[in-house]
Structure formats: C-alpha cells, structure tokens
Amino acid sequence: MRSLRRAALAVLLVIVLFRPSSAAEFAVARPEDAGFSGAALERIVTTLKDDVERGAIPGAVLVIVRDGRIVLFDAVGFLDKSAGTALPREAIFRIYSMSKPITSVAAMILLERGRILLSDPVQDDSRSLVGL
C-alpha cells in the first residue's frame, strides 16, 4: 500500500511538473473548500517528511491543484543535505525514466473520458487516437 501511495504522489508530481504554468497563476484554496480532507493531505506531507528522515528520499515538492485552485503546495527535505539547504517549493528537478508514469496518466485520463476501455486490445487499428 505504501508503494502505491508513493506511485500516486509521483504521478501527481509529474502532472504538475509537465503543466506549462507556474503556481503563481493559480488561486489558493483551503483543502475542504476543494473537496479534500486537510488532515489527509497533512498525512501525505508527514509521510514524505518521514521518508526524508529515514533517508529514503532526499526531498520532494508536492502540489495538488483542483479546479484551478492550489489546495496543497509544500516542499520537504533538502536541496543540498550536506550544506543543510532546504528544498524550495520552486525547485527544478531532472526527471529520468518517466515515460511509463506519463503514459499511465494519459491512459487513465482517456479511460475516465470513455475514449478507451480496459478491455481494449493494446493495438486496435479500427480506432484512431488522433484528435483526442
């Protein structure tokens, strides 16, 4: 279950990082006003902080946006642990080997929109995904 939560966090991070907007373009909202539990979101941040303390990750930036409003924007960990430099929320990351998570997110979006089915074959020459 813990690895599933980490994967979900990674996907959220990827979605936000690849969106061509800055956080300054979004309004800020309380989690409850956007349909989230503030306590549950804090547990996510606490989990990330615990991972930093254990040395599992050096740091992470988490942004959750719903309906154009930021409900959570936080950074935990270090930009440079040896120097004690905290990780800023505006940190830039190099991302490697992200084709699978990005493709998975794209597939989930298409599934939600009813454009593909879980039962569809991997290759179906009768349906074109062009123009989705």
| Residue 108 domain flag | no
Whose CA is closest to 81, among 108, 56, 112?
56
pTM exceeds 0.95 for this model: no
| Residue 114 domain flag | no
| Residue 62 domain flag | yes
Distance CA 129, CA 132 (A): 6
The tokens for 117 are 């089915």
| Residue 50 domain flag | yes
Q: Which domain holds residue 18?
A: 2-92
Tally of domains within the chain = 1
Classify each residue of 84-93 as buried b or exposed e, where b means 16 or more C-beta atoms within 10 Å of its C-beta: eeebeeeeee
CB 79 within 8 A of CB 89: no
| Residue 87 domain flag | yes
pLDDT value, residue 25: 76
| Residue 110 domain flag | no
For residue range 11-70, list pLDDT tens digits in order. 555 555 444 455 567 889 898 998 999 999 999 999 999 999 999 999 999 999 888 899
For residue range 57-104, list pLDDT tens digits in order. 999 999 998 888 999 999 999 999 899 999 999 988 887 888 888 889
